[in-house]
Each structure stands twice: as structure tokens, then as C-alpha cells.
Amino acid sequence: MNTSSTPTDLPVTSAAVLQRLAKLGIHRRFDLILHLPLRYEDETHLYPIADAPLGETVLVEGEVTHHEISYRPRRQLVCQVREGESVLHVRFLNFYPSQVKQFAVGNRVRLLGEIRHGFFGAEMVHPKVRVVTDGTSLAEALTPVYPTTAGLTQPSLRKLIASAMGTSELSDTLPSATLDALNLPAFDGSVRLLHNPPPDVPQRALTEREHPAWQRLKFDELLAQQLSMRTAYRARRDKSAPVLTSPGTLARQLLAGLPFGLTGAQQRVLTEISQDLARPYPMQRLLQGDVGSGKTIVAALAALHAIEAGYQAALMAPTEILAEQHFLKLSAWLAPLGIEVAWLAGSLRKSEKSKQLDRVASGEAKLAIGTHALFQEQVTFEQLGLAIVDEQHRFGVHQRLALRAKGHSPHQLMMSATPIPRTLSMSYYADLDVSVIDELPPGRTPIVTKLVSEARRDEIIERVRMKCQEGRQAYWVCPLIEESEALQLQTALDTHAVLSESLAELKVGLVHGRMKAAEKAAVMAAFKANEIHLLVATTVIEVGVDVPNASLMVIEHAERMGLSQLHQLRGRVGRGAAESTCILLYTTPLSDTAKARLKVIYENTDGFEIARQDLHLRGPGEFLGARQSGAPMLRFADLEKDVELLEAAQATAERLLDQAPSVATAHLSRWLGSKTDLLKV
């Protein structure tokens, strides 16, 4: 079998063609084979003009009875083709002299296109044309139409693919017993069928990717992904990590001082984490929990586990606001236990930074909290046992690896406040263990969501006044203006000015992305202390801000925001016992997608359900964030439609890795080819 696919195995020598192929993601012969048609043209079957179905691409034939170049309403070639009593009008708005020749009166022409009812009767615009001579026969297979790029015609792509198919060994990577059990056809037959389907295959099954041949390709792709992720998962067991055992004394002390007990879900995930930490190989666990489900206390208890075992822990967050909030909360929790926490962020003054670095290096600080400043070169730990990464999807694989390199393969806990749909975590996150906090702390009153037109802004301002006079606090979130940060800042400043004036008796604060970290922190601290009643904010408050007394949120131009972002923002309220309201202000007219998004957020409060619908509306890219660059992407399988195949691929991958590793390797190397270095991540 040919597994040594390299860029040189393409049946091409021209640098220009190689470049065009590269644009299509084709770098080796196997990529050509996997370059599957978008759709097909059916030239196997002639329809009588009178009976051809409307709105479908059909092949018809007739004799040219007339042609002219007309100039009204614009220059165009207008022809008539007759078959018996039926007449078809044919028009070309752009045409070459050669096309005029093809339509010489008396010629028999075969036309491929869609018939519509035009002004003069049946008409075809811009059909594909062939002049019929005695030897012209019908095609034997459907004609594939490939995704292509400028300078690469369909016939030349077809030729290249045919040549790759002719010279490649397409033997099966999977044993026939496996295929039989899964009811899947052979690989060779499947790709050949998809490139050259016989005329009796229903086109819908092909274009909708439901044909067994498609199932086979999707399965192979999913299997390659599973094998890649699970190989990485298993490879971790060969590395050694500190065995962290802890009698749990510190954890008990911390819990004793808290006003609440852990929920069942928090306890369960904590057990999962503690068991991992006591293993001799590094943990890589993803902790998922909906907004407000209480991940921070779990992170703190995991850190205490490492600390009690004699090691240090680090907690890294993507923004300084979030990191600082963690720092304040965890310092307050850990100080009574006599545990020192260091703070590392980009905004620290040099002398302060070097003091903090010393505390981390000497081991005086048992926990270090910060932004990406934590994995910069100067940072050394005395003995790092656990690295916790909050909002993991905002960090790339490299940043995570850099933090990991700070210790002798420390354990890693990754936290995500954006719930990840099950199929996504089964596929793109299959190299991790996953824990889910699927229960909210008791006593929360569900958030009431209201959709309100921008025209009723004044009423909303009154509502803010009332709430704040009752002693509650509120957020006012300014619209996201992606095109211009300056404009976004201006909007926030204007909104702040207007609201300060309208609500003169309230203290109105402002926080936005352009402020210095220390300024932001001061505003957040004042809001937390209820010295600010209404906080005007850009979306910098999206993740993690925790002010339980805030019970009203107004989001302007909610129609511009993504679902997960709205859910995150809305989760900033409803964190205490008081009933909370989130008002989504929208501006009309709303696009269909904006309507769909607002409907989902209005109807659902469960983050996992919202995530599932977000996956449906926007595809997986939005969830993967930085992870996308490190994971082999799926081209054929659809995580929504192909759940069964995904489950089958997952089970097959485990079985092959256990029982037939050489089959697993062969399959992987065929699919990943030059990308196999991904496995080293």
C-alpha cells in the first residue's frame, strides 16, 4: 500500500498547476482522490424538450432553427432549437464567436441546463452546448463537478483525478470483518463511485451525502480523527507526572469557611480530578460547566490538592479582569489557610513583577495566578504540579504547551464556560478527559429574558432606575462593533454620558477594553462593593465576572452578537437569589439569522442546548477557537447528522488501538499523510 504520500507524488510537474492545487488544499495524490464532487451533471439521459422537468438540470437535444445577435435590452445571442413541435429559446448574455458558430441553423445541438418559463415560452439561459454528430453518444456515468479555482478547468481537474485514481493503490485500510459489522462498503469502490457514479444512482443520495459510499468516506475521516486524538491521549500515559495524593485537610478547611456546600455535580467532578491527580501520568481534563455553575471553587480545591501534596499550582486566565477576579477570590479563600498566592500580569511594574517571580521561583507562593504572563520565559516554578487554564479555547495549543513545559509534565485542568456540544467534545476534544458540572447551585431564580425594541429605550432606563433604587445593580452592555474598536469605544463613552445624565441620582461606571488593567480593576472592585450602581461596559465583561447583587442586564444591539456570547453575558446576572432580568434590545429590521439567534436565547436557558443550536447555526469553528489550528478538521462528516458514525468511529478506534495497532497506523497515515506530526502535540 502506498502510505508514503509526499507533495511529490502528485501527477503534475507545472509549478503553476501545483500552486492552484495547493489553493484547493491538494498537496498529494491522496488529496486528489479525496477531492470529491460538489454535484453532478447528468448527461446519461436525454429528455424530450416538452417533458423535461422544470428547475432541474437536464439534457435535451434539437435542431437549431434560428439565431441572432440582439441588442435589446442588451447585447445577447438568442437562438431557437426545435424538437418536433417543441421550441426551446436559448440565450447567452456573454458569448464567444465560437458559440455563434455552434448555433448555425440546421445544426443539431445537445444542451445541458435548466428549462424555465420565459417571456416567449420554454427557455434555457447559458446552457452547456455540444454539437451532435453521428458519433456523439451519451455519457455512461454522471459527470462530476468539482470545487475548483481560477485557472483550473473542470476537464483538467477530472483528468488529474482520474490519473491519480489510476496510479494509486486504493486498497482498504480496514479489515473486511470491521466493514461488514458496520455495514460499510469498500474504500476503493466508494471513491470510484463518488467520482464516477453510474447513471442509476439517485443524485440526491450523492449530493446530500447519504449514499453508502459517502458513509464510508465520512466514517474513515472520523476514524482518522479518533485515532489521532486517542493516540495522543494514550501517549500521555507514557509520560510521568508527579503523583499528587492529598488527605484533603486543606480542602475541608476551605469548605468549612464557605457559606455554601458543594453541589453533587461539583463533588463528582472534584472526585474525578482528584483521582487523576493521584495517577503517575499527566492529567488533561476539560472541566465544562454552564455559566455560574461554580467552576472557580472546583479549581481552588484542585489547587489545594496539589499544594497539600507538596507542589505548586498555577491558574491562567485569558484576560486581566478575569485573572484578577480569580486572584482576589482565591487569595481571600486561601489566605486564612496560610497559603500565599502570587499575581503575574503584563501590567505589573518591573519591581513588583520581579518580586512576584521570586515568590514563585522560591516556592513561597504555592499558587500563581495570572494571564499569559504566566508562561513567559522568566517564570520558573519551584515545583509545578498542576496547571489550570481557564477559558481554554482562547489559548492555542502552543500556549498551553508552554505552561506545561514549566513543570515536569504537570497535570492540566482546562476549564470552559462555553458549554461544548456533546458531538464536538466527542470529536475535537477526544484527546482529553471531560468532566461536566451539570447542575447549578441551589436557590438560583431563573433569569427572565425579554426582547425589547430599541424604540422603547426610555422605558428601559426607567426600569434600571427602579432596580437600582431597590438596592440592586445593573449592567448596560454596549454593542459589539467588530469593524471598528474606536467606534465601539465612542459608543461606550456616549452611552455612559447619556445614562449618567438620565440617571443623575445613580452612580454610573464605565469599563471598556481600552482602559489600563489597573483602571479596569478599580472600576470592577467599586462595582463589586456596590459603590457603582450601573456599570456601562463593552463586551469585556463577557466571561467570568461575578457580582451576585447585579440582577438586571441590558444588552444593546443584541442582534449583532453570537449565541454563546449572549449566553455568557446573560450569565453575569442571576448569580444570587434575587430574580434577575436580561433585556435584549434590538434594532429592526432583523435578518433571519439574527431572528433565529434571538429566538434561541429567548427560549432557552440551558447552555448546552444553546451550544447545540449554535453549532447548528454557525458550525464548529466558533467553538474551537484557537484549538482549531491544532486539530485535524473534518471535511466530510457533519457532527449534527453523523452522530451514529461518530459513535461507531469512536468504538472502532479504541478497538483498533487495543487489538490491531498496525491497522490503526496504516489508516492514520493514509488520512493524515504529511500531517501526522499532529500526533506529537
Ligand X SMILES: Nc1ncnc2c1ncn2[C@@H]1O[C@H](COP(=O)(O)OP(=O)(O)OP(=O)(O)O)[C@@H](O)[C@H]1O
Q: What is the contact surface with ligand X in residues (CB under 6 A)?
A: 260, 262-263, 266, 289, 291-297, 417, 441, 544, 546, 548, 571, 575
Q: Are 483 and 489 in contact (CB under 8 A)?
A: no
Beta carbons within 8 Å of 285's beta carbon, 6+ residues apart: 272, 273, 276, 412, 413, 414, 432, 433, 434, 435
CB-based closest residue to ligand X: 294
209: left (phi > 0), else alpha (psi -120 to 50), else beta? left
Beta carbons within 8 Å of 545's beta carbon, 6+ residues apart: 321, 322, 325, 524, 572
Minimum distance between the CB of residue 629 and ligand X, rounded to whole angstroms?
A: 24
Minimum distance between the CB of residue 293 and ligand X, rounded to whole angstroms?
A: 4
Burial (CB < 10 A; 0-12, 13-18, 19+), residue 156, is middle
Q: Which is nearer to ligand X, 382 or 609 (CB)?
A: 609
What is the SS3 string spanning 410-430?
A: CEEEEEECCCCCHHHHHHCCC
183, containing H or E segment: none
Concatenate the DSSP letters of all residues of 450-509 into one string: EEEEGGGHHHHHHHHHHHHHTT-EEEEEPPP-TT-HHHHHHHHHHHHHHHHHHTTTS-EE
The single-letter DSSP state of residue 294 is: -
Q: Which of 214, 40, 179, 213 is nearest to 641 (CA)?
A: 214
Cα(488)–Cα(504) distance, rounded to whole angstroms? 24
Q: Which is nearer to ligand X, 110 or 572 (CB)?
A: 572
Q: Which is nearer to ligand X, 571 or 673 (CB)?
A: 571
Minimum distance between the CB of residue 376 and ligand X, rounded to whole angstroms?
A: 25
Minimum distance between the CB of residue 295 and ligand X, rounded to whole angstroms?
A: 4
Q: Which is nearer to ligand X, 262 or 648 (CB)?
A: 262
Residue 581 has phi, psi (to 5 degrees) of -130, 140
Q: Are 145 and 158 in contact (CB under 8 A)?
A: no
Q: Which is nearer to ligand X, 296 or 551 (CB)?
A: 296
Minimum distance between the CB of residue 367 and ligand X, rounded to whole angstroms?
A: 16
Q: Residue 28's Cα: distance from chain center in Å?
A: 27
Q: Which is nearer to ligand X, 62 or 576 (CB)?
A: 576
Minimum distance between the CB of residue 420 and ligand X, rounded to whole angstroms?
A: 13
- The neighbour count for residue 606, using CB atoms within 10 Å, is 13
Q: Are 260 and 388 in contact (CB under 8 A)?
A: no
Q: Which is nearer to ligand X, 417 or 430 (CB)?
A: 417
Q: Which is nearer to ligand X, 222 or 262 (CB)?
A: 262
Q: Which is nearer to ligand X, 110 or 295 (CB)?
A: 295
Minimum distance between the CB of residue 475 and ligand X, rounded to whole angstroms?
A: 13
Minimum distance between the CB of residue 477 and ligand X, rounded to whole angstroms?
A: 15
Cα(368)–Cα(359) distance, rounded to whole angstroms? 9
Residue 434 has phi, psi (to 5 degrees) of -125, 130
- ∠381-387-393 over CA atoms, to 5°? 135
Q: Which is nearer to ligand X, 222 or 299 (CB)?
A: 299
Minimum distance between the CB of residue 587 and ligand X, rounded to whole angstroms?
A: 27
Cα(163)–Cα(12) distance, rounded to whole angstroms? 10
Helix axes 264-277, 295-308, angle to 10 degrees: 30
Minimum distance between the CB of residue 322 and ligand X, rounded to whole angstroms?
A: 8
242, containing H or E segment: none
Minimum distance between the CB of residue 265 and ligand X, rounded to whole angstroms?
A: 9
Q: Which is nearer to ligand X, 562 or 630 (CB)?
A: 562
Minimum distance between the CB of residue 651 and ligand X, rounded to whole angstroms?
A: 32
* CA dihedral sign of residues 389, 392, 395, 397: positive
624, containing H or E segment: helix 621-624
Minimum distance between the CB of residue 576 and ligand X, rounded to whole angstroms?
A: 8
Q: Which is nearer to ligand X, 348 or 440 (CB)?
A: 440
Q: Which is nearer to ligand X, 496 or 575 (CB)?
A: 575
Q: Which of 64, 220, 349 is nearest to 645 (CA)?
A: 220
